[in-house]
Amino acid sequence: MEAVPFIGIDRHRLGVDGVGVTTLAAFHGCPLRCKYCLNRRCLESPEELPRESVERAAEVVGDFIVDIKESNAEIYKAYTGGDAALVWANLEWLIQKKGPEHVTVRVPLIPDFNTEADCDLTAARLKAMGATRIDRFTYRVQQS
């Protein structure tokens, strides 16, 4: 089995990133380069991974919280440097595999990158894909 570049695990988080008690597992090697990232050492976007990795995660994780960031490919690329097509394909697979009740999709308003109208389009695309748990919020940007 392939080794995973693991940073650490944080158990018994109350009311953070989900309902009730949650566990955060952090890994090195995030393929994205989000402009407002607070921790570039971490990997928190499994949907940006090859399908095989997402399939493995789906075998052991009960509920997923996915920060989809943006549906417009150009905005997604400008903000993350990544490929939106891969993300959306993996998310669609995940929703079908786990069921929409087990996948919460977070849709952020990203200051200076997207608008409320862009978020409306992303939410509509998610609903058409079958997502039922959609969490809209606004990124807080650190002032330097």
Interface residues with ligand SF4 (CB under 6 A) are: 30, 32-34, 37, 39-40, 42, 44-45
For the bound state, the minimum distance from the C-beta of residue 45 to ligand SF4, rounded and expressed in Å, comes to 4
Q: Which is nearer to ligand SF4, 34 or 105 (CB)?
A: 34
Q: Which is nearer to ligand SF4, 101 or 112 (CB)?
A: 112
Q: Which is nearer to ligand SF4, 102 or 106 (CB)?
A: 106
Write out the H or E segment, with its range, that includes residue 62: none
How would you class 78 by CB atoms within 10 Å of its CB: exposed for 0-12, middle for 13-18, buried for 19 or more? Answer: middle
Q: Do the bridges between strand 6-14 and strand 21-27 make them parallel or antiparallel, or are there none, so unpaired? A: antiparallel
Which three-class secondary structure state does DSSP give residue 54?
helix
Q: Which is nearer to ligand SF4, 132 or 138 (CB)?
A: 138
Q: Which is nearer to ligand SF4, 42 or 89 (CB)?
A: 42
For the bound state, the minimum distance from the C-beta of residue 102 to ligand SF4, rounded and expressed in Å, comes to 21
For the bound state, the minimum distance from the C-beta of residue 80 to ligand SF4, rounded and expressed in Å, comes to 6
Which three-class secondary structure state does DSSP give residue 110?
coil
For the bound state, the minimum distance from the C-beta of residue 34 to ligand SF4, rounded and expressed in Å, comes to 3
Would you tell me how many other CB atoms lie within 10 Å of the CB of residue 137?
Answer: 11
For the bound state, the minimum distance from the C-beta of residue 72 to ligand SF4, rounded and expressed in Å, comes to 17
Q: Do 28 and 5 touch, CB atoms closer than 8 A?
A: yes
CA 100, CA 64: separation in Å to the nearest integer?
10
